[in-house]
Amino acid sequence: MLTVKEKNNVHVCGKADAAQTIIFGHGFGSDQTAFAPLVSAFEADYKIVLFDNVGGGKADINAFSPSRYSTIQGYVTDLGDLLRELNLNNVSYVGHSVNGMIGLLSAIKYPSYFNKLVLLGSSPRYLNEPATGYVGGFTQDDLEQLYHAMSTNYYAWASGFAQLVVQNHDRPELANNFAKTLSSIRADIALSVAKAIFEMDHRSELVKSSLPALIVQTTDDPAVPKVVGDYMHQHIPNSQLASVHTRGHFPHVSAPEEVISILKSFI
**Distance of alpha carbon 202 from the chain centroid:** 14
Give 2's pLDDT tier (boundaries 50, 70, 90). Answer: confident
User: Does residue 235 have an active-site annotation?
Assistant: no
Cα separation, 200 vs 125, in Å, equals: 6
Maximum CA pair distance of the chain? Answer: 51
User: Does residue 123 have an active-site annotation?
Assistant: no
User: Does residue 11 have an active-site annotation?
Assistant: no
**Distance of alpha carbon 96 from the chain centroid:** 3
The per-type count for the chain, helices as H runs and strands as E runs, is 11, 7
What is the percentage of the chain residues whose pLDDT exceeds 90?
99
Q: Which of 90, 96, 98, 111 has its CA nearest to residue 208?
A: 111
Q: Is the full-model pTM beyond 0.95?
A: yes
Domains and CATH numbers, the chain: 4-266 (3.40.50.1820)
Q: At what angle do helices 187-198 and 140-152 cross, to 10 degrees?
A: 170
* Residue tagged active-site, from 26, 96, 249, 252: 249
* Residue tagged active-site, from 221, 239, 252, 254: 221
Cα separation, 62 vs 201, in Å, equals: 27
Task: For residue range 214-246, list pLDDT tens digits in order.
Answer: 999 999 999 999 999 999 999 999 999 999 999
Cα separation, 202 vs 14, in Å, equals: 33
Task: For residue range 39-77, list pLDDT tens digits in order.
Answer: 999 999 999 999 999 999 999 999 999 999 999 999 999
Task: For residue range 173-217, list pLDDT tens digits in order.
Answer: 999 999 999 999 999 999 999 999 999 999 999 999 999 999 999
* Residue tagged active-site, from 26, 30, 92, 97: 97
Contact by Cβ (8 Å): 185, 29: yes
How many CB atoms are closer than 10 A to CB 139?
A: 12
Q: What is the mean pLDDT of the chain?
A: 97
**Rg for the chain, CA atoms, rounded:** 17
